[in-house]
Amino acid sequence: MSSRRSRSRQSGASRITDDQIIDLVSKLQQLIPELRGRRPDKVSASKVLQETCNYIRSLHREVDGLSDRLSQLLASTDTDSDQAAIIRSLLM
Amino acid sequence: MDSQHLNPSSLKSRFTARFLRALIKINAQKPISSSSPREIFQRYRRIKVAADKSMAYSVRSRRTWSRATLWKLRSRSRRRLASSGRRSSIKTRTTTTTTTTTTSTNHRAAIVEKTSHEKENKEDHVGLAVQAEELRELVPGGESMDLCNLLDETAHYIKCLTTQVQVMKKIANLYSLE
């Protein structure tokens, strides 16, 4: 293990360190609802990546579903800029 | 209903404004027979593209994934302008490519999990590199990133996606109250 690390330090200035990866993975872990509460050392990096993929896919599906819903809603309403202004003020 | 006062230059505000403008434009193009299934499907596609586009524009070129999305959208519209006929429907990477890769990468992931367990859960870069393949296909521009950048871009991408979903949900709820 230590030999691997020293080997990577020798081969060039821009080596990705293990610590960098660990930091980034734990940062990702905090963004995923499934894994957020759990301690970073209890969750393996590969599990984090797996759950990240699942989460991104579910977000894509949500965007799809919402686009679908919006297309149906737009069909039935007559939106004009007044409505959009109201919505904008409500959202902001 | 959260009564947060949004910073007008925040990502959320920029996305909301852009997306609403796009929705108005899409709605203005409504023909008389606006409720045919074909019309609705076309509108669904336009809305989805508008949502992704609005988010990518709100992030601009500050991120590799947003640059990749914008590039993809621009080259797609250029292709569409160039060809007179209609090209085949937009293949969403999420729905088509991931179904085929899921089975193979799950198998690979199972092997990776087993070997990493043997190493007492200490991940080395090789193990993660295999796992990251799946992620590369989900994050725009992921194919050309090194592992560090991929993880960093993924975190930002997820933040933006959740904002996008949040705003779209709010808009849909407001419209359905009308």
Tell me if A87 and B174 make a contact (CB, 8 A cut-off).
Answer: yes
Report how far apart, in Å, the C-alpha atoms of A14 and of each of A9, B127, B146 are: 9, 20, 11
Residue boundaries of the structural domains of chain A: 3-91
pLDDT attached to residue B101: 45
Contact A59 B132 (CB under 8 A): no
Nearest CB to B40; choose among A25, A75, A92: A75
Chain B residues with CB-CB distance to A9 below 8 A: none
Mean pLDDT is lowest, of A52-66, A74-88, B44-58, for A74-88
Chain A partners within 8 Å of B32 (Cβ)? none
Q: Which residues in chain B have Cβ-Cβ distances shorter than 8 Å to A4?
A: 124
Question: Between residues B27 and A84, which one has the greater pLDDT?
Answer: B27
Domain boundaries, chain B: 10-29+36-81+137-177
> Which pLDDT belongs to residue A82?
61
User: What per-residue confidence (pLDDT) applies to A51?
Assistant: 92
pLDDT of B86 reads: 54
Give the number of beta-carbon pairs within 8 Å between A and B: 165
Residues 6+ apart with CB under 8 A from B112: A46, B127, B130, B131
Residues of chain A in contact with residue B6, where contact means CB-CB under 8 angstroms, are: 91-92
pTM (predicted TM-score):
0.74
Per-chain mean pLDDT for chain A: 78
CA–chain centroid gap for B119, Å, is 35
Whole-number Å distance between alpha carbons of A44 and A35: 11
Fold of A3-91: MYOD Basic-Helix-Loop-Helix Domain, subunit B (4.10.280)
User: Which chain A positions have a beta carbon within 8 Å of B51's beta carbon?
Assistant: 63, 66-67
CB contact under 8 A, A67 and B47: yes
The predicted pLDDT at position B176 comes to 79
For residue A60, give the chain B residue with the closest CA. B94
For the segment A5-15, what is each residue's pLDDT rounded down to a tens digit? 444 444 444 46
- Running along chain B, 178 residues long, what does each successive block of 10 average in pLDDT? 62 91 83 71 91 93 92 87 62 44 48 46 62 91 90 95 94 80
- pLDDT band (50, 70, 90) for residue A73: confident
Pairwise CB contact (< 8 Å): A56 & B157 = yes
Residues 6+ apart with CB under 8 A from B138: A53, A56, A57, A60, B93, B94, B98
The angle formed by the CA atoms of residues A29, A32 and A33, to the nearest 5 degrees, is 125
Number of Cβ within a 10 Å radius of residue B61: 11
